[in-house]
Amino acid sequence: DTIRQHGADGLVLLPNTRRGTLLAAKLGYRLKAAVSNDASTVSVQDGKATVKHMVYGGLAIGEERIATPYAVLTISSGTFDAAQPDASRTGETHTVEWQAPAVAIARTATQARQSNSVDLDKARLVVSVGRGIGSKDNIALAEQLCKAIGAELACSRPVAENEKWMEHERYVGISNLMLKPELYLAVGISGQIQHMVGANASQTIFAINKDKNAPIFQYADYGIVGDAVKILPALTAALAR
């Protein structure tokens, strides 16, 4: 109702998180609006939004022109570069009075979530591990490299969701992190498109993989073919000097 009070049409942008996509669906129903999740590009022409996003698990790009007066979009963090400040542009702030919902949810308790707080979106250097690292214990080798060069640690989706070796918040790829660091060092990552859409915007990609035919080498600027468990300690020692 508040959105309708400020215009008969418009573009509503939300983060592409679990909560954001849930809210997008509810707003789409209430506003009778088309909803598009995980948008990678957005353009507006003649008052209508055109959106592109990954389809078929990242194997293709789908394009949608939204015809409804309102459009509700979710966007992953890091998808777009920050715009340069423009002092000539102005906007309006509308103060909205809080209206309690007719059916409220009562919070009976809270529990702190067990996860490491890290802002990978802003990291200059990222070391990312895949299942090729071999085991959860071997991730310590990547952590030592991170400490030596001042990098943040990330991972592929299978490491977080299948193996449960690392937190969900650290996996790079479709439906999660879209990174643009100065250096992305991929360790034991095969390089499937579902992962690379989240890392391909990196300024420099360095890959370590024992499979010389791994797709990651098609994206990498530099690469080493070999066992990451043997290479990481040597690389850490060399860079720590």
- 66 among the known binding-site residues? no
DSSP character for 82?
Answer: P
Q: Give the neighbor-by-neighbor strand order of the sheet with 48-55.
A: 39-45, 48-55, 60-65
- 30 among the known binding-site residues? no
Q: Render 126-171 in DSSP notation, one character per residue.
A: EEEE-GGG-SSTTHHHHHHHHHHHTPEEEE-HIIIIIS--S-GGGB
Distance from chain centroid for Cα 107:
30
- 20 among the known binding-site residues? no
For residue 137, CA distances in Å to 134, 142, 187 come to 8, 10, 14
- 130 among the known binding-site residues? no
- 194 among the known binding-site residues? yes
- 94 among the known binding-site residues? no
- 193 among the known binding-site residues? yes
DSSP character for 46?
Answer: T
- 156 among the known binding-site residues? yes
Query: How many other CB atoms are found less than 10 A from the CB of residue 180?
Result: 19
Q: Give the C-alpha separation, 61 to 157, whole Å.
A: 20
User: Which residues are known binding-site members for FAD?
Assistant: 131, 156-157, 188-195, 209
User: Which residues are known binding-site members?
Assistant: 131, 156-157, 188-195, 209
